[in-house]
Structure 1
Amino acid sequence: MDKYRIIKRPIVSEKTTKLAEERKYTFEVDKRANKIQIKEAVETIFGVKVEKVNVINGKAKPKRVGQYSGLTAAVTKAIVTLAEGNSIDIYEV
């Protein structure tokens, strides 16, 4: 799998901004990617040393608009912890 297709986008919210102070960055990733592939992709793209990767598999939830019902997209998130002295400027990317 191509390293540039594994990482879809950074997730920026109030909670993830607070985590970034602890060298933990959150990304939306491809559902088929495993922790090793995510680690290699982040290290290659951003040029940093990754210490740990945690993956969260979000489920699709039912939604309804008027008479139409469907599901939201299932999202896989990765929380990447960087080694001491490394950081990513997610607003620049």
Structure 2
Amino acid sequence: MEPTTVIKMPIITEKVTAASEFNQYAFHVDHRATRTDVKKAIEAIYGVTVVAVRTQVRQERDRTYKYGKTLGKTWKRAMVRVAEGQKIELF
């Protein structure tokens, strides 16, 4: 897969910002991407050395409307840890 199609966007929340102090960053990735695809894409786009990749398939919460219930969409998140002394500038 192309690196630009693997990584959809970085996830910027309070929890992820706190984890960036420990060289960990979160990205919204394509659901077909594997850990090795994510590792190669991050190294190609940001020019850093990736030490570890953890992936999760997440689901948005279900919503109840006037005429029934709608299921939330599923998406994939990757937590990436880069080598000591390296950073990814997201801002």
CA distance in 2, matches of 1:9, 1:49: 19
- Aligned counterpart, 1:32: 32
- Aligned counterpart, 1:83: 83
Q: How far did residue 62 of structure 1 move?
A: 2.4
| AA matched with 1:75 | W
CA distance in 1, matches of 2:78, 2:85: 20
Q: CA RMSD in A?
A: 1.2
Q: Kindly report which structure 2 residues correspond to 1:6-85, keeping only aligned pairs within 5 A, or say none.
A: 6-59=6-59, 61-85=61-85
Taking structure 2 as the reference length, the TM-score comes to 0.93
CA distance in 2, matches of 1:84, 1:60: 33
- Cα 1:52–1:75 change in 2 (3 A) is same
User: Structure 2: 5+ residue runs without aligned partners?
Assistant: none
CA distance in 1, matches of 2:68, 2:43: 43
Q: How far did residue 48 of structure 1 move?
A: 0.5
User: Structure 1: 5+ residue runs without aligned partners?
Assistant: none
CA distance in 1, matches of 2:75, 2:20: 20
Give secondary structure in 1 for the equivalent of 2:22: coil
* Segments ≥4 residues shifted beyond 6 Å: none
Give secondary structure in 1 for the equivalent of 2:90: coil
Q: How far did residue 70 of structure 1 move?
A: 1.5
